Structure 1
Amino acid sequence: MIGLVLAAGAGRRLRPYTDTLPKALVPVGPEGDEDGRTVLDLTLGNFAEVGLTEAAVVVGYRKEAVYARKAALEEKYGIALTLIDNDRAEEWNNAYSLWCARDVIARGVILANGDTVHPVSVEKTLLAARGQGSGIVLALDTVKKLADEEMKVVAEPGRGVRRITKLMDPADATGEYIGVTLIEGDAAGILADALKTTFERDPGLYYEDGYQELVDRGFTLDVAPIGEVPWVEIDNHEDLAKGREIACQY
Structure 2
Amino acid sequence: MIGLVLAAGAGRRLRPYTDTLPKALVPVDGDTTVLDLTLRNFAEVGLTEAAIVVGYRKEAVEERRAALESAYGLKLTLIGNDKAEEWNNAYSLWCAREVLGEGVILANGDTVHPVSVEKTLLAARGEDRRIVLALDTVKRLADEEMKVVAGDTGVRRITKLMDPAEATGEYIGVTLIEPEAAAPLADALKATFERDPDLYYEDGYQELVNRGFRIDVAPIGDVPWVEIDNHDDLAKGRGIACLY
TM-score (structure 1 length as normaliser): 0.97
- Cross-structure match for 2:174: 180
- Cross-structure match for 1:48: 43
How far off its partner does 1:168 sit? Answer: 0.1
Q: Would you say 1:241 and 2:235 are equivalent positions?
A: yes
* RMSD after superposition: 0.4
- Per-residue CA deviations over 1:156-201 (Å, capped at 9, x if unaligned) read 11x1000000000000000000000000011000000000000000
1:78-227 mapped onto 2 (5 Å cutoff):
78-157=73-152, 159-227=153-221
Moved over 4 A (4+): none
Q: Would you say 1:39 and 2:34 are equivalent positions?
A: yes
Aligned partner of residue 28 in structure 2, secondary structure: coil
Q: Distance in 2 between matches of 1:112 and 1:198?
A: 20
How far off its partner does 1:212 sit? Answer: 0.1
Q: Would you say 1:27 and 2:21 are equivalent positions?
A: no
Unaligned runs of 5+ in 2: none
Amino acid at match of 1:42: L
Q: Distance in 1 between matches of 2:214 and 2:32?
A: 36
Q: Distance in 2 between matches of 1:184 and 1:85?
A: 22
Aligned partner of residue 65 in structure 1, secondary structure: helix
Q: Would you say 1:60 and 2:52 are equivalent positions?
A: no
Q: Distance in 2 between matches of 1:188 and 1:233?
A: 25
Unaligned runs of 5+ in 1: none
Amino acid at match of 1:44: L
- Per-residue CA deviations over 1:78-104 (Å, capped at 9, x if unaligned) read 000000000000000000000000000
Q: Distance in 2 between matches of 1:187 and 1:181?
A: 12
- Cross-structure match for 1:16: 16
Question: What's the % identity of the aligned pairs?
Answer: 83
Q: How many residues align?
A: 244
Aligned partner of residue 177 in structure 1, secondary structure: strand
How far off its partner does 1:131 sit? Answer: 1.1
How far off its partner does 1:132 sit? Answer: 1.8
Q: Distance in 1 between matches of 2:38 and 2:179?
A: 21
TM-score (structure 2 length as normaliser): 1.00
